[in-house]
Structure 1
Amino acid sequence: MEDKILESFAYILPAAVTGFVAYYMFNGFINNKISEKKLDLLAQQKKESLPIKLQAYERLMLFCERINPVKMLMRIPPISKDTNDYLDLLIANINQEFEHNLVQQIYISDETWTAIYAAKNAVTNKLKQVAENSSSANDLRENVLIDYSKSTPPTETAIDFIKSEVKKIL
């Protein structure tokens, strides 16, 4: 009886060891294939989302260019001689541009969105500040142009930030 048990054990032990080895090899193989699939899907997703992200950065760069105070003053003439009317027109234009590009924040980093939002607010606040010391719409234009000839507009800072973000993506 003991001989039959030892004989059975002699057959079962190698079969069990072979089974465990096969299990671990197949398990490793399957896990490796799953990892490869995940990497392929991630690469495919990045490949598909890159053009959308780049387009968002392009649109926000255009937004910064359009709200650049110097360029905006050249593009938007005063509607009357009243400073407040012109200021309201400029701020309305900035807000309209901003609302038009608001959805782009989905595709960009939080830091970039913060830089763009800060640039928008800085331009708006500077226009309001200069308008307080201006007697007419043309005076407002001149004062803004003089002020920004001495310093870099905040939109340029935001544009530089966008460029650095795009370089990181590419």
Structure 2
Amino acid sequence: MNVQYFLTQVAIQAAGGTLMVVASWYLLKNDFLRYFFQRPVEPAKDDKAPLLQLRLQAHERMIVFVERLNPANLFIRVYEQGIPAAELQARILNEVRTEYQHNVSQQLYINAESWNVLRKLKEDTIAMINNAIGTLPPDASGKDLSRLVLEHVAGIAENPYDLTVELIKQDIHQLF
């Protein structure tokens, strides 16, 4: 057996093996490092974009809710010519409660303080309608009820509906 031939074959085999190991390392290096040195995955900043969109939509819906709750808009939507005050009261209360129930899930996306203000505004609107109907005679018309409520709202120094819309706008500006 020739020693020189043997050493040449060993060198060729060693070079081929080394070349295979180096090529494999470069191909699989990222997988090895990821497997052995895993880092906790941080959410990308774009992951919050859908939540921001939901929050903006909730604020938009709350502004619409306040505008629909405003007696000036509420009477325009619900009032019919010649309707008795008691029937108008029932329709208004139904409308307010329906609007509230339709938007109740939006509290997930808005500030708790703003939601409490919205809920109080709804309750105050109901109380205002009920108090106004209590001061009218039993045979009063819907026109009398609407006039009394609108005069009451006009007499308030700072319109609570406008203040609530401003509060919601402030919440929106805090998001950015």
**What TM-score comes out, normalization by structure 1 length?**
0.73
The answer for the alignment partner of 2:171 in structure 1 is: 165
| Cα contact 1:69–1:153 (8 A) shared by 2 | no
CA offsets 1:125-148 (integer angstroms, 9 cap, x no match): 111111111232111011111111
Aligned to 1:140: 145
- The equivalent position to 2:101 in structure 1, one of 79, 96, 99, is 99
- Supply the RMSD in Å over aligned alpha carbons: 2.1
Q: Which has the larger radius of gyration?
A: 2
User: Per-residue CA shift, 1:109-158, capped at 9, x if unaligned?
Assistant: 21111111011111111111111112321110111111111124422222
The separation in 1 between residues aligned to 2:51 and 2:83, in whole angstroms, is: 48
Q: Which runs of 5+ in 1 are unaligned?
A: 1-29
Question: What one-letter code is carried by the residue in structure 1 that aligns with 2:147?
Answer: E
> 5+ residue gaps in structure 2?
1-36
In the TM superposition, what is the alpha-carbon distance from 1:82 to its structure 2 partner?
Answer: 2.4
Query: Structure 2: how far apart are the matches of 1:169 and 1:42?
Result: 18
Pair 133,108 (structure 1): closer, same or farther in 2 beyond 3 Å: same
Alignment of 1:1-170 (within 5 A): 34=40, 37-38=41-42, 41=43, 43-78=45-80, 81-134=83-136, 135-151=140-156, 152-170=158-176
Quote how far apart the aligned CAs of 1:107 are.
1.3
Q: Size of the alignment, in residue pairs?
A: 137
Does the CA contact (< 8 Å) of 1:81 and 1:137 recur in 2? yes
Alpha carbons 2:79, 2:142 under 8 Å: kept: no
Which is richer in helix?
1
Report the CA distance between 1:56 and its aligned residue: 0.6
